[in-house]
Chain A
Amino acid sequence: MARFLLDPTGERTIIERVRLPRPATLVGQTIGLLDISKPRGNVFLDRLEQHLVELGAGVRRYSKPTFTKPAPVDLRHEIATQCTLVIEALAD
């Protein structure tokens, strides 16, 4: 008789998403910089913003309420609708 065990996982179907193509230029792009609210993340993002602006990109700044939890859905929606690219900063 066939033996079987019961699957202990959530039996999720993984949705695979294709990455967007790498942009040819940063000129004219709107780049979101997401500060996850760890100490000194702003230092890192300030320098990034400076470089990106010099390269001709527009920059918008965002921050998560706390680094310990995923970004709230409203914030993710805001970034997705306002930006063409996003950079998320870890820190310490």
Chain B
Amino acid sequence: MSTPRLPDGFVVIVKEECETCRMVAPLLAQFEVTVYTQDDPHFPPSVSPIHDADLSVSWHHDIETVPTLIKVMEGIEIDRTVGWSRAEWQRITGITHLGDQLPVFRPGCGSMSVDPDLVDSLRARFSGGTLRSRHIELADLDDEMEMLFDRGLTDGLPVVPPTEERVLRMLQGTTRAADDIVATVPPDLVPVTIEKVAINAVMAGCKPEYLPWVIAALEAVCTDEYNIHGVLATTMPVGPVIICNGPGTRAIGMNSGVNVFGQGNRANLSIGRAVQLIVRNVGGGRPGEVDRATHGNPGKISFCFPEDEVGSPFTSLATSRGVEPGLDAVTVFAGEGPRCIVDQKVRDPESLASALAASLRTLHSPKLVLGFDVILVVGPEHARVFAEAGWDRERVLAELHSRLQIPGSELVYGAGGIADGVPEHLRDVTLPKFRPDGILLVHAGGGAGLFSAMIGGWANGTIGSQPVTRLVTK
């Protein structure tokens, strides 16, 4: 809908419910003015107001407060003031003694066009035409939740129905245009717009302020380095694990503490879910089709969490990957579900490093080396043991790698009675379990419990998937 043109001269927008509007109403009979009223069509009775019944004038002219006085010349606004300021009204109208009997200043009231109960439907009515997505019509007796299941558009859990109102509200979370292309989504290689991201973010249960995180994570998984096509197609149980860093994680209420991987936090769960819904609905990556996982894992519905940076003795994961401290970023990793590493007796860092290394060695198989990366999520109580000994991120990683040098004789085919392993000619070579940057250290979890966690990866490096870090921008 096009913006309604305001008549030349002075225009005032009022509503009867507003005390300030009622206070200035007598003045509106004292000069030539066009009055738009939002609620009572006959207010004020001293003039002949125009009823802005559908709030079109108020919406299109960004009226946030009533009364608003606007000066218009040749259809163009050249001045405005909101509420009652005697000096401003006198200046704009040029009437020296206008409202001399009134107080010097009185704030106005909220315009009905920004009423939280109305704003979504107004945005849909006046901005809905800007969206391009196909409309899925619902018959009178259709249950919208069931219809979304029937069309194969969910991940097995109910989704929030993506109405035009909800999608337009979601789009308020980004400054990017709705038709802006974010990425090309495998496996069907479909370009995805901000609008499609917003639709799926609504379905996942996101708030608008989560949208930039969804966009950044999606950009990251759709890179050639991350290789979401392969992550989907593999028979291994991996999916996108999204680690969030920066002050924005706290601003949107993410949980990096108690039960960090578990249920209960909307931001953690819905950001990861939105990314997976986009891969499914836009990219066409559905289980049993291109997704060939033998077992999969529950994190393939959503696996997203922030690092606890405030309580961490270490530099953050994002900083270690080149992001300036204080900026928001996501790192995506092709990972399986988390596994607990227990050492409740530990009080010294050497012992803790040995305990962690012993568990890390078993990743996927104690016979397999170098092919897989891992996220090591150090819990706060374990991190404290390292911190008290003065071990920083680099020291912890160096100590772990030094404990993960394995004699080839333990790894060759058949060693330990296990067929899998490395070729016989490597029997006399010492091999590292992980490549030099193959352990991604993150600090997160609740304050009680001498535990850490490991999240195993998939085929690493250029052959498979590499972790990718992207900045989050609004």
Contact = CB atoms under 8 A, between A and B. Distances in A.
From A2, A4, A10, A66, name the one whose CB has the most chain B CB atoms within 10 angstroms: A10
From B131, B134, B161, name the one whose CB has the most chain A CB atoms within 10 angstroms: B134
A24 interface: no
A12 B196 CA distance: 13
Contacts of A11: 133-134
A69 interface: yes
Contact of B230 (A5, A8, A68): A68
B197 to A, nearest CB: 10
Contact of B282 (A6, A8, A70): A8
Contact of A68 (B147, B167, B234): B234
B276 interface: no
A20 B322 CA distance: 52
Interface range for A: 10 to 19
B137 interface: yes
Interface range for B: 35 or more
B144 interface: yes
B199 A6 contact: yes
B188 interface: yes
Contact of A3 (B138, B283, B284): B138
A16 interface: no
A81 interface: no
Contacts of A3: 137-138, 142, 144
A6 B163 CA distance: 6
A69 B225 CA distance: 11
A10 B188 contact: yes
A70 B134 CA distance: 30
B464 interface: yes
B251 interface: no
A7 interface: yes
Nearest to A9: B281
A4 B144 CA distance: 9
A5 B138 contact: yes
Given A66-B463, A68-B463, A6 B137 contact: no
